């Protein structure tokens, strides 16, 4: 196996670990909502803590969707994501 292939495998494993860690941080309600959105191609990107709790952010084709602590989905949030 070449060094480049080994490096690609390591990067792929790290990304899976990060995503798995994010899923563990979601509330049960957020997990149910996020699970339904992943069926449409959304990916859990990050979680933000705010005064009202945590906010899960999922992205698909550059469009953001947020999920509140109680599982409410907002498909049109006012959110600016850095590239």
In the structure, what pLDDT confidence band is assigned to residue 46 with cuts at 50, 70 and 90?
very high
DSSP string, 31-67: HHHHHHHHTTT-EEEEEEEETTEEEEEEEETTEEEEE
Residue 12 has pLDDT above 80, yes or no: no
Residue 44 has pLDDT above 90, yes or no: yes
Q: Examine residue 83 and state whether it is found in any structural domain, yes or no.
A: no
Q: What is the pLDDT of residue 35?
A: 94
Residue 50 domain boundaries: 3-74
Cα 70 to Cα 83: distance, rounded to the nearest angstrom: 28
Residue 79 tokens, joined: 């959110």
Q: Examine residue 30 and state whether it is found in any structural domain, yes or no.
A: yes
Residue 65, strand partner residues: 58
Q: Examine residue 49 and state whether it is found in any structural domain, yes or no.
A: yes
Q: How many angstroms separate the Cα of 42 from the Cα of each of 63, 67, 77?
A: 9, 12, 15
Q: Examine residue 15 and state whether it is found in any structural domain, yes or no.
A: yes
Number of structural domains (the chain) is: 1
């Amino acid at each position: 196996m070449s060094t480049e292939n080994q490096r690609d495998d390591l990067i792929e494993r790290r990304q899976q670990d990060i995503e798995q860690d994010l899923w563990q941080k979601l509330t049960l309600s957020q997990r149910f909502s996020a699970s339904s959105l992943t069926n449409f191609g959304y990916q859990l990107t990050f979680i933000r803590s705010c005064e009202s709790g945590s906010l899960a952010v999922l992205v698909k084709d550059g469009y953001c969707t947020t999920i509140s602590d109680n599982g409410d989905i907002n498909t049109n949030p006012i959110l600016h994501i850095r590239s």
